[in-house]
């Protein structure tokens, strides 16, 4: 990742962080921050990740989350309602 890419990733992360803080000030939080359910977003089990993707639907920061993951070059887990382990060019860890 070159300096330009790192800067874009940092900006995307900042936008996402600000949106999450705005939610927090309203007493809301995103589903993936649930201490019990959080593991589904990073699970090796594809069914868990499918559930996480479904739970991302309607997330108020879904676009910013996906943009931040894209700018960081994330290759695994569920971000912005997308299972990156199943994205084109990736191999799912397990079914
Ligand atoms: S869109 Fe991003 S922030 Fe929202 S629940 Fe899904 S992974 Fe979490």
Chunked mean pLDDT (size 10), the chain, 95 residues: 91 97 98 96 96 97 97 95 79 48
Residues in the chain: 95
Whole-number pLDDT of residue 89: 61
Ligand 1 midpoint to CA 9 (Å): 17
Nearest atom within ligand 1 for CA of residue 60: 4
pLDDT for 86: 78
Instruction: For residue 52, give the ligand 1 atom closest to its CA.
Output: 6
Helix axes 62-72, 3-25, angle to 10 degrees: 150
- The SS3 of residue 87 is coil
User: Which among 79, 82, 85 is the best mutation to test ligand 1's pocket, defined by most ligand atoms within 8 Å of the CB?
Assistant: 79
> Would you say the C-alpha torsion 57, 58, 59, 63 has a positive or negative sign?
positive
């Amino acid at each position: 990742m070159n300096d330009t890419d790192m800067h874009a990733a940092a900006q995307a992360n900042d936008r996402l962080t600000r949106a999450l803080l705005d939610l927090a000030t309203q007493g809301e939080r995103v589903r993936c921050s649930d201490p019990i359910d959080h593991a589904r977003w990073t699970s090796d089990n594809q069914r868990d990740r499918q559930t996480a993707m479904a739970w991302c639907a309607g997330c108020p920061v879904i676009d910013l989350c996906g943009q931040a993951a894209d700018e960081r070059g994330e290759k695994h887990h569920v971000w912005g309602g997308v299972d990156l382990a199943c994205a084109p060019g990736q191999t799912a860890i397990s079914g």
